[in-house]
Structure 1
Amino acid sequence: MTRENPLLTMIREVCALGRAEFERPSTAEGDPDAGRALVQGLQAIDPGGEPSAISLSLALLAPRAPYFDQLVLDAIAAGVPQVVNLGAGYDDRALRFRHSGVTFFDLDLPDIVADKARRLHVMGTDTAHLALAAMDFHTDDVAEVLARAGHDAHRPTLFLAEHLALFLEPGDVASLLARLSGHAAAGSTLAITAEVHPADLDSDLVVSTVDDVMFGGAGPLHTIQSRDAWLALFEKTGWRIDNPDEVTAVNHFEVTVADRPTQIQTQFLTATA
């Protein structure tokens, strides 16, 4: 089993606590307070053992969380019966957006899934509509994991990969996208956040520079590509990008690459199988 980078654990917890700071929508059957209850007692601790400030995540989460929330609401309104949350962590969408006839699948590392299950039990919340499934995105086949969890490959699905691809190796991202498209029924949608650098820079150089400058060589960030490379990857793995000329993005961070200030964007990409 892949051991998670402590920095990634901290980032996951910072984002979970940050999301709980916002007022977010819910369905009539959903629990609007589930997010705060789910992260009760959670602490984002940095690798040095000190608490990490959640304020650093709020600017990035402010546009990102509503974007993915709206996708779920739109899918429910359209009658999509399944929502798969890849790298779900402590995300509460399955609780806030509970809706008759819709099944949610939350996939993440085994220890995260176990802790989330424990927290849900303590909350006493109804999870009949939610399947938690353990998955190592480096070694496991997502189609097999979903099949074991009860996902129906013949019915449309909304697949969410919010803030996941950045932390996977490029080959693992490509494998994940390909296996999802092979498992996805007609009418299925995939939405991800993609970290994007300017087109004239080499991706390996960008990633290594970010690792050295921001994390001293121990960073958890692995996949940052040009937008054209992302579009080509989606096409190669069986996905059609909706409105490829329209860019929805937020600036994530700036780093000096090849002696020039370089803005790394988080772009929101939505595609159909």
Structure 2
Amino acid sequence: MTTRENPLLTMIREVCALGRVEFERPHTAEGDPDAGRALVRGLRALDPAGEPSDISLSLDLLAPRAPYFDQLVLAAIAAGVPQVVNLGAGYDDRALRFRHSGATFFDLDRPAVIADKVGRLEATGTDTSHAIPVGLDFRTDEVGEALARAGHDAARPTLFIAEHLALFLEPGDVLALMAGLSGRAAEGSTLALTAEVHPAGLDSDRVVAVVDQEMFGGCGPLHTVLDRDGWLALFAKTGWTVQGPDEVTAVDHFALPVAGQPVQIQTQFLTATV
């Protein structure tokens, strides 16, 4: 049984969707550059008090993040990678923006989100023959089984992208997700995700507890914040090798006091191969 979603997570998903359409972004020759705005029409991104959230707060984070994943998708298509799996896809329009006759997109998210997205696309008459919606709960469902049922071919290369997903899952669920993906990853596959990273020398559980209390009053949706070595170990444990492990691509996310000291949390972009 799927539990009710934290309203803060719903707001964050919608803020990101509304923020992405504020940027000039690339598209393929077959893609629809206007699909994003049609897809998010009517989204309000309400905070728990029922007030509209200020999407401008997300733009500094999205400015480097959206292009990073956009370029990965374009590079995969150019290289002939036949499958793109978008984990925590929400209302992201990459399956439409980067439509390509040689690639199949799989959009994975909570069943209610996927159902709403499918309804929106049907209402606009959008061609989704190349895009496969997959509803699942990342906390309880096995991603490999969900992909197999959806028709994903584990014998062919795949680009797996997880933009702004891992921080909302418990560490054990992140581990299960990455392990499940490695089991579906043929030679030539890539996994790219955003990771919330705290400085070395801090206890990760303590950092998460402080983030939860200071930012969300104890009811926040953020669960996984690790140091850089912790993330690299997680990739290695699940069969992935991070490209350029000593090269950090990141954007500062937020700062808060931990043990009386100011601590900067970064969103780092990590790309790995099997």
TM-score, scaled to structure 1: 0.99
Letter in 2 for 1:32: P
Local SS of the residue matching 1:183: coil
Cα distance, 1:64 vs structure 2? 0.1
Letter in 1 for 2:76: A
Aligned match of 1:196: 197
Task: Say whether residues 1:98 and 2:99 are aligned partners.
Answer: yes
CA distance in 2, matches of 1:34, 1:260: 45
What residue ranges of structure 2 are gaps of 5+ in the alignment? none
Give deviations 1:102-157, integer Å, cap 9, x for gaps: 00000000100000000000111100000000010000000110011110010000
Aligned match of 2:236: 235
Letter in 2 for 1:81: P
Cα distance, 1:183 vs structure 2? 1.4
Cα distance, 1:101 vs structure 2? 1.4
Letter in 1 for 2:145: E
Aligned match of 2:252: 251
Task: Say whether residues 1:182 and 2:183 are aligned partners.
Answer: yes
Aligned match of 1:77: 78
CA distance in 1, matches of 2:263, 2:104: 41
Letter in 2 for 1:219: G
CA distance in 1, matches of 2:83, 2:16: 24
CA distance in 1, matches of 2:3, 2:224: 17
Task: Say whether residues 1:6 and 2:2 are aligned partners.
Answer: no
CA distance in 2, matches of 1:91, 1:50: 23
CA distance in 1, matches of 2:246, 2:45: 37
CA distance in 2, matches of 1:123, 1:163: 27
| Counterpart contact for 1:34–1:92, Cα < 8 Å | yes
| Counterpart contact for 1:2–1:138, Cα < 8 Å | no
CA distance in 1, matches of 2:95, 2:197: 29
Aligned match of 2:145: 144
Aligned match of 2:263: 262
Aligned match of 2:167: 166
Letter in 1 for 2:240: W
Count of residue pairs the alignment pairs up: 273
CA distance in 2, matches of 1:129, 1:13: 24
CA distance in 2, matches of 1:2, 1:262: 33
| Counterpart contact for 1:159–1:190, Cα < 8 Å | yes
What residue ranges of structure 1 are gaps of 5+ in the alignment? none
| Counterpart contact for 1:76–1:102, Cα < 8 Å | yes
Aligned match of 2:64: 63
Cα distance, 1:2 vs structure 2? 2.8
Letter in 2 for 1:69: D
Local SS of the residue matching 2:183: helix
| Counterpart contact for 1:161–1:193, Cα < 8 Å | yes
Q: How do 1:124-143 and structure 2 match up within 5 A?
A: 124-143=125-144
| Counterpart contact for 1:103–1:129, Cα < 8 Å | yes
Give deviations 1:145-197, integer Å, cap 9, x for gaps: 00111100100000000000000000000000011101111110000000000
Aligned match of 1:111: 112
CA distance in 2, matches of 1:219, 1:76: 37
CA distance in 2, matches of 1:6, 1:103: 31
CA distance in 1, matches of 2:220, 2:8: 7
Local SS of the residue matching 1:29: coil
| Counterpart contact for 1:156–1:186, Cα < 8 Å | yes
CA distance in 1, matches of 2:68, 2:126: 25
What is the Cα-based RMSD across aligned positions, in Å? Answer: 0.5
Task: Say whether residues 1:206 and 2:207 are aligned partners.
Answer: yes
CA distance in 2, matches of 1:70, 1:76: 10
TM-score, scaled to structure 2: 0.99
CA distance in 1, matches of 2:184, 2:80: 19
Aligned match of 2:40: 39
| Fraction of identical pairs, as percent | 77
Cα distance, 1:3 vs structure 2? 2.1
